[in-house]
């Protein structure tokens, strides 16, 4: 289970990047159309065209600088960019035939971007401005002569109709390419927000569990103290009965462990790396965690293999991480009380732990629900928090937990843990 959140990128910034590309295509098409008309010896007003295309080039250059230097882009900035495009197009069309210009379809491109990327009020504002500009060009424009009919290779061509055909082809391609990407950007953003909301709910559940744990630690302190006193008195009475005394020692050991766990809940809560105590080598840390578990489950044979490595980094001792390893060993021992395999290997960057049991494995239903709070696969014998809490602990250090059925039977548990956050620099 990978609990790391994806990087949340500003969707408006991504839309501005795509508007930059869209404007580049518009500029390239206008330059190509202008060169074609010059080649066909159709007279065009040079200065207005240069002014309009140059203005869009300048706007694109400013956009490029803006995207390189700053990360945050607002809706208002995107609106101003689109208004700049409308102004440049209106100037171009005014001096090149007005509403009869075959490139007038380009008005639709900024509107399409606005409809997808901006909120409703801004989109309607841009639409009203575009309609006003188009309507004005119906009455006020500089007409072009010899625009419609031209002879090429012995065939008559209607330049206006050819321009309209090219306009449809280009606009269809642009809309299919750019607008679908903008829509995907918004869908990706919604998915990221849903993931963030899910992580927030998990944090709330973890906080609730922490509150319950603190309350339970307070309430269980008194009965455990009473049990410790009574077991000590019983030990005095059973001095001449070594068999019963040995069983009583097991009970006293378990009581002592319960008291230690409860006291650590409040002692270790909020403990920072600075006051986490003296560090241990990774090998020593694993040996201590394994020994603590063996003390509580002496009947289960644990076969340990700590792969020798050229490095044995010094890490700070985190009690919760040790508890996470013990939780996984407990689950394995519950499924396979006779024998459990434990293998750990590491390099400079990563610790990898494999725990295998010889139980019945995981059913499809259990695989789907494993890691859900209060879900237990132990037929009512567990609280259903072991895997869930282990995933939370590992996620704090950037680690992952994977459980799968082993080819030869049982469950294989794999922990991958980066050592960067645990390492103590010399």
Q: CA–CA separation, 132 vs 138, rounded Å?
A: 10
Q: Which residues contact 87 (CB under 8 A, 6 or more apart)?
A: 55
First to last CA, the chain: 32
What residues form DSSP beta bridges with 150?
157
- In the DSSP assignment, the letter for residue 380 is T
CATH class of 280-418: alpha beta
- In the DSSP assignment, the letter for residue 104 is G
Give residue-wise pLDDT tens across range 379-404. 545 545 678 788 888 888 889 999 99
Give the chain's count of helices (H) and strands (E).
Answer: 12, 9
- In the DSSP assignment, the letter for residue 253 is H
343 or 209: which leads in pLDDT: 343
Is the per-residue pLDDT at 28 higher than 60? yes
Give residue-wise pLDDT tens across range 302-340. 999 988 667 788 888 777 888 889 889 998 998 899 999
Give residue-wise pLDDT tens across range 76-93. 888 888 898 899 889 888
Q: CA–CA separation, 326 vs 335, rounded Å?
A: 14
User: How much is the pLDDT for 413?
Assistant: 93
Give residue-wise pLDDT tens across range 32-78. 777 776 766 666 777 888 888 888 888 888 888 877 776 677 788 88
Query: How many residues does this entry show for the chain?
Result: 426
- Enumerate the H helices of 297-424 as residue ranges: 319-335, 364-369, 386-396
pLDDT band at 150 (very low <50, low <70, confident <90, very high): very low
The C-alpha torsion from 273 through 274 and 276 to 282, rounded to 10°, is: 60
Provide mean pLDDT across the span 161-169.
Answer: 71
Highest mean pLDDT among 146-160, 236-250, 405-419: 405-419
Q: CA–CA separation, 424 vs 426, rounded Å?
A: 6
Name the pTM for this structure.
Answer: 0.49
**Closest by alpha carbon to 371, among 389, 387, 390, 394?**
387
Is the per-residue pLDDT at 276 higher than 60? no
What residues form DSSP beta bridges with 352?
345, 416
User: How much is the pLDDT for 160?
Assistant: 63
pLDDT band at 347 (very low <50, low <70, confident <90, very high): confident
Q: Tell me the CA distances in angstroms from 133 to 130, 139, 360, one per residue in order.
A: 5, 11, 74
Q: CA–CA separation, 206 vs 211, rounded Å?
A: 9
pLDDT band at 2 (very low <50, low <70, confident <90, very high): very low
Q: CA–CA separation, 28 vs 14, rounded Å?
A: 21
């Amino acid at each position: 289970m990978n609990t790391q959140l994806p990087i949340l990128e500003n969707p408006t910034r991504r839309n501005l990047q795509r508007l930059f590309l869209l404007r580049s295509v518009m500029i390239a098409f206008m330059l190509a159309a202008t060169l074609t008309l010059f080649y066909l010896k159709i007279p065009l007003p040079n200065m207005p065209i240069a002014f309009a295309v140059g203005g869009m080039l300048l706007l694109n250059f400013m956009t490029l600088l803006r995207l390189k230097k700053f990360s945050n882009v607002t809706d208002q900035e995107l609106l101003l960019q689109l208004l700049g495009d409308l102004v440049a197009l209106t100037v171009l069309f005014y001096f090149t035939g007005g509403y009869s210009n075959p490139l007038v379809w380009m008005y639709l491109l900024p509107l399409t971007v606005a409809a997808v990327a901006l909120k409703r009020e801004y989109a309607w504002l841009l639409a009203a401005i575009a309609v006003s500009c188009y309507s004005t060009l119906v009455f006020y424009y500089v007409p072009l002569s010899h625009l419609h009919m031209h002879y090429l290779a012995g065939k008559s061509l209607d330049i206006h109709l050819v321009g309209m055909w090219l306009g449809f082809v280009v606009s269809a391609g642009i809309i299919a390419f750019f607008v679908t990407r903008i829509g995907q950007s918004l869908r990706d953003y919604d998915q990221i927000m849903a993931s963030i909301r899910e992580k927030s709910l998990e944090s709330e559940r973890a906080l609730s569990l922490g509150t319950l744990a603190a309350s339970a630690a307070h309430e269980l302190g008194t009965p455990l103290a009473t049990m410790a006193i009574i077991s000590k008195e019983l030990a005095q009475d059973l001095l001449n009965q070594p068999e019963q005394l040995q069983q009583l020692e097991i009970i006293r050991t378990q009581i002592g462990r319960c008291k230690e766990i409860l006291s650590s809940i409040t002692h270790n809560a909020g403990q920072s790396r600075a006051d986490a105590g003296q560090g241990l080598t990774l090998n020593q840390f694993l040996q201590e965690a394994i020994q603590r578990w063996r003390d509580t489950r002496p009947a289960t044979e644990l076969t340990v293999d700590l792969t020798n490595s050229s490095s044995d980094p010094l890490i700070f001792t985190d009690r919760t991480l040790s508890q996470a390893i013990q939780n996984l060993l407990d689950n394995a021992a519950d499924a396979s009380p006779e024998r459990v395999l434990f293998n750990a290997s590491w390099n400079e960057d990563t610790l990898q732990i494999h725990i295998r049991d010889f139980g019945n494995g995981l059913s499809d239903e259990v695989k789907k629900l494993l890691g859900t709070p209060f879900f237990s696969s132990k037929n009512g014998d567990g609280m259903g928090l072991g895997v869930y809490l282990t995933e939370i602990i590992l996620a704090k250090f950037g680690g992952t937990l994977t459980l799968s059925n082993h080819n030869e039977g049982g469950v294989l548990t794999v922990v991958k843990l980066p050592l960067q956050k645990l390492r103590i620099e010399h």
